[in-house]
Chain A
Amino acid sequence: MAEKVLAPLAGNIWEILVKVGDKVQEDDELVIIEALKMENPVYSPCDGVIKEIKVSKGEQVQEDAVLMILE
């Protein structure tokens, strides 16, 4: 079951805290999105393994953009 991680708000990808293949648990911090000079962590929606990372550091994302795919 692939689970998409969506951007909860628009902003810049400030930091990506995981790599493809990492095992994560629900509520782990995956990405930090910077918006209005504020760093907003994005948390994992479920337990799983990072299958694909769709964004890169410094990229501008819109709300609901797919950040990564979990499996």
Chain B
Amino acid sequence: MPFLEAMGILYLTPNMITMWLIGLLLIYLAVKKQYEPLLLLPIGFGIIIANLPEAGLMKPDTGLIWLFYHFGIEWEVIPPLIFLGLGAMTDFGPMLAQPRLIFLGAGAQVGVYVTFFVAYAFMGFSLKEAASIGIIGGADGPTTIFLASKLAPHLLGAVAVAGYSYMAMVPFIQPPIMRLLTTDAERRIRMKKSRKVTQREKIIFPITATIVIVLLVPASAPLISMFMLGNLFRESGVVGRLSDTAQNALMNIVTIFLGVSIGATMDGDHFLQKQVIYIFLLGLVAFMASTASGVLLAKFMNLFTKNKINPLIGAAGVSAVPMSARVVQKEGSRVDKKNYLLMFAMGPNIAGVIGTVIAAGIFLTMLQ
């Protein structure tokens, strides 16, 4: 009977079932632990449906999820749209108020390059693959996906899952490193008050920043321009509807397509290789190195400045917004409960996003 011969169950392989378990694990982490549920939940489900035999959801040209993937990610539409929403959510105020702290956002990109180098030199990844893995250290999901889809699409799933998992684990990964690298006295440093930022500055900033960054690193244009456009929507104060749509409705729509198609790139035969374990290891190294380099740069800057920087803030240079800023606040208040570092940490945190985009742009320029 043709119906019986076409049954998917006849084509089931052990790899597929292993992938279901991985998908279920991500769904579990999303539901039970609330680890980045907006992404890990659809990713987990995407993994399961991509590993159903004969379903053809990822079949080129006709598969439903393949179409999402092709037009959303391969065409580079979704990551910039997410950046549009992020821009509309972001208040550059803390960064504008403390410009020197943006260097911490650059400092935390050190982890990106260290990991890139390690992955290439010692783990046998190609340059393009190593770049896609290193960028995990930037702790910026859409940028990671943007870069990996261009340089190493076959690693996209693993890189994205590693990135988002570690982002969810920022509250566990960062504090031990922060404590190790700072003294009690340093953690107690109270920062000097920020100046007030005017609305005019906030409106002009996204425009000038777009111009200078794109002039410097043209390959960062898709992400930076959308990020800043979203921010201009927000700060202009005259297009509340656009700002609202960008950060809510549109963001949610593209997140659905992003999550499920990332998940669906992970078919068992390609995913289940020891490379993936290396990616997860390297991703963790990247996160730790970025945290450490941010903290160390803050300590280094303290050698030259009169107004001391609390080095905990350096850890916020990784762009996990606002998780790492919250971690900084928590660690600071452990030793001095009246020390409010949150808003100071937001500066490097947001600068970290820009830093990661620039880093991705440079990888693209040099490796594509």
Contact = CB atoms under 8 A, between A and B. Distances in A.
A8 B326 contact: no
A60 interface: no
Interface stretch (B15-23, B203-211, B334-342): B334-342
B340 A9 contact: yes
Interface of A: 8-10, 27, 35-38, 40-41, 43, 63
6 contacts: A9-B340, A27-B338, A35-B343, A36-B322, A38-B329, A63-B194
Interface in B158-195: 193-194
B151 interface: no
Contact of B343 (A37, A41, A63): A63
Interface in B281-337: 322, 325-326, 329, 337
Q: Which one of B322, B325, B343 has the greatest number of beta carbons of chain A within 10 Å?
A: B343
A9 B343 contact: yes
Contacts of B193: 63
Contacts of A38: 322, 326, 329, 342
The A contact surface, by secondary structure, is: loop
Contacts of B322: 36-38
Given A9-B342, A63-B193, 17 more contacts: A8-B340, A9-B340, A27-B337, A27-B338, A35-B342, A36-B322, A36-B325, A36-B326, A38-B322, A38-B329, A38-B342, A40-B329, A40-B340, A43-B337, A43-B338, A63-B194, A63-B343
B342 A40 contact: yes
Nearest to B349: A36
A10 B337 contact: no
A40 B341 CA distance: 11
B181 to A, nearest CB: 23
A40 B193 CA distance: 17
Contacts of B325: 36
A63 B340 CA distance: 11
B337 A41 contact: yes
A8 B326 CA distance: 15
A41 B346 CA distance: 18
Contacts of A37: 322, 326
A27 B322 CA distance: 27
A38 B333 CA distance: 13
Nearest to B322: A36
Nearest to B194: A63
Q: Which 5 A-B pairs have the closest CB atoms?
A: A8-B340, A36-B322, A9-B340, A9-B343, A38-B326
Nearest to B337: A43
Nearest to B339: A8
Contacts of A9: 340, 342-343
B35 to A, nearest CB: 16
